[in-house]
Amino acid sequence: SWKLVLEEKHPDMLHLLQFPYNGEPPKRLVTDKEITPNSLHFVRNHGGIPIIDKADYSFLVDGVVNPKSFTVAELQDESKFPRMEKTITIQCSGTRRIEQILKYAGQGDEVPQAPWAEGAIGTAKYVGISLKKVIKACGGLADGNKHLEFYGADTYFKDDKAMNYVVSVPWSKVRANEVMLAWEMNDKELPRIHGYPLRIVVFGYIGARSVKWLYLIKGIKRPSMAPVQSAEYLYFPQQVGKHNLKMTDGIQIQEMPVSSAIMSPWSKQVVIHNGKIRCKGWAYSGGGRWPERVELSADGGFDWYTIPLENLSKKRKWTWRTWEYDLPCDVEGWVEIVVRCWDNSLNTQPTQIRDSWNWGLHVTSSCHRVVVYSVN
């Protein structure tokens, strides 16, 4: 799989882990483009990268009235399934975890997890079809089923047992045409690292639900009991730690809350400027909400400047907005730059990293802060 990484990914990717391969683009390239090039899209894997031959490939749909297998070619028959094309932001719930690790490491309670920075988020144009049409083509869900389980062909190890990557989403999400089966990413065949030949893309949910290397879809009555769904992506309250961990105290993370990040300047950077610091970054909200206002502060979050809308990339349901702004600053010396986003439901972000802390180190959505040395 290392050979594949070198073939499919940009040479400047930050490799967080070699096996299973996890990587994100370096800060200067995260928001370089509004649509993330495939070679720079972050990669999150729990196990190996299956090498699947499209000629032999099919996946099964079960837990429906008429269980049935499909090849990619069958899905691509536009007389049966209308083609769907969507620009979607995929964000891992571990985005910006490094801030929680740096703040709380050594307290004995945190789980070892990939130390993602601000780049575990990416935006791409996917081509495929709505999963709803496939379920309809199988006669609908079998009696009483209300969730759909997705199985990936990769194996992953949990407590020394090999298992497939399995998660679920509620049928209501599929019925709303917000889940697709995708075979193309940014006008190219889906890269192997991103799930070739077919992956799920769930709009506005954490990346964990967008299963790669799909081989089985199954209608089920309750959310999946597989560990990734029932134990891994849980959001615990502040007082929960290793000593008193109960899975029932965690909320299953599906939609991500509103968040944002500064991609330039970087922390500890000396910034020489003429009264304005050039800032760049992204803002995103899950669940089909979108950034409506993005603000920057040059004094730790006391006074806020609103970034003019023309400095934000296009407003679109299901995608981030990248932004650039010349932040006024007349201070000589250390300056704390803070970003804050409001989405279209007027949700905004917690102010301090302490507000974000949780045992699983997921969902770091507190205001992103960078401290720079300002030379005016």
Instruction: List interacting residues with ligand MTE (CB under 6 A).
Output: 41-46, 90, 92, 152, 154, 165, 194, 207-208, 210-213
Our CB check for ligand MTE shows the closer of 205 and 342 to be: 205
Q: Which does 46 bind (CB under 5 to 8 A by kind): ligand MTE, Mo ion, none?
A: ligand MTE
In the complex with Mo ion, the residue whose CB is nearer, 230 or 297, is: 230
Residue 129 lies near Mo ion (rule: CB under 5 A):
no
Residue 253 binds to Mo ion (criterion: CB under 5 A): no
Say whether the peptide bond before residue 37 is cis (omega within 30 degrees of 0): no
**Taking CB under 5 A as the rule, does residue 191 contact Mo ion?**
no
Are the C-beta atoms of residues 119 and 24 closer than 8 Å to each other? yes
Start-to-end C-alpha separation, the chain: 48
Give the range of 12-20, 206-214, 274-282, 330-338 binding Mo ion by CB under 5 A.
Answer: 206-214
Residue placing its CB nearer to ligand MTE in the complex, 41 or 218: 41
Q: Min. distance of Cβ 210 from ligand MTE in angstroms?
A: 5
Taking the complex as a whole, the smallest distance from the CB of residue 94 to ligand MTE amounts, in Å, to 7
Of ligand MTE, Mo ion, none, which one does residue 335 interact with (CB within 5 to 8 Å by kind)? none
- Applying CB under 5 A, among 64, 131, 208, 220 the residue interacting with Mo ion is 208
- The amino acid occupying position 175 is R
Query: Can you spell out the DSSP letters for 125-158?
Result: EEEEEEHHHHHHHTTSB-TT--EEEEEEEEEEEE
197 near Mo ion (CB under 5 A): no
> Under DSSP, is residue 51 helix (H, G, I), strand (E, B) or coil?
coil
State the number of CA atoms in the 13 A half-sphere of 286 facing the CB: 19
**By CB under 5 A, residue 43 contacts Mo ion:** no
Q: Which two tokens stand for residue 74?
A: 């069958």
Give the CB-nearest residue to ligand MTE. Answer: 152
Nearer to Mo ion, 150 or 323 (CB): 150
Residue 29 or 372: which CB sits closer to ligand MTE? 29
Instruction: Give the nearest distance from C-beta 87 to Mo ion in angstroms.
Output: 20
Smallest distance from ligand MTE to CB 257, Å: 16
H or E element: which one contains 74?
Answer: helix 72-75
154 binds, among ligand MTE, Mo ion, none (CB under 5 to 8 A by kind): ligand MTE
Judged by beta carbon, residue 206 or residue 258, the one nearer ligand MTE is 206
207 scored as a contact of Mo ion (CB under 5 A): yes
Strands 305-306 and 68-70: unpaired
> By CB under 5 A, is residue 90 in contact with Mo ion?
no
CA-CA distance, 169 to 167, in Å (whole number)?
7
Q: Sort residue 65 into left (φ over 0), alpha (ψ -120 to 50) or beta.
A: alpha
- How far is 197 from 214, CA to CA, in rounded Å? 8
The region of 197-205, 207-215, 344-352, 361-369 touching Mo ion under the rule CB under 5 A is: 207-215
Among the residue ranges 37-45, 46-54, 176-184, 260-268, the one whose residues contact Mo ion (CB under 5 A): 37-45
Q: HSE, CB side, 13 Å, CA atoms: give it for residue 356.
A: 29
**Cβ–Cβ < 8 Å for 1, 48:** yes
Number of H helices, E strands in the chain: 8, 23
Least Cβ distance, residue 85 to Mo ion (angstroms)? 24
Q: Residue 4, SS3?
A: helix
Q: Which residue has the tokens 């190890």?
A: 157
Chain residue at closest Cβ approach to Mo ion: 92
Residues that bind Mo ion (CB under 5 A): 44, 92, 207-208
